């Protein structure tokens, strides 16, 4: 089996899912950063 072609196939298939996941994380982290991080940091201490 050609490993480079196999790896490229996986990479291309995973790319949209990765992008969607990162966009979802960014969408969640934006409000989290502004509202909840001080409380989270206080909780961590």
Round to whole Å and give the CA distance between 22 and 14.
12
Round to whole Å and give the CA distance between 2 and 23.
32
Per-residue model confidence as pLDDT tens for the chain (45 residues): 566 766 667 666 667 777 777 777 777 766 555 555 555 555 555
Enclosing domain of residue 25: 1-45
pTM over 0.85: no
Give the count of domains, the chain: 1
């Amino acid at each position: 089996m050609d490993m480079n072609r196999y790896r490229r196939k996986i990479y291309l298939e995973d790319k949209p899912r990765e992008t969607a996941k990162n966009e979802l994380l960014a969408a969640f982290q934006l409000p989290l950063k502004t509202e909840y991080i001080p409380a989270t940091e206080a909780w961590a201490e």
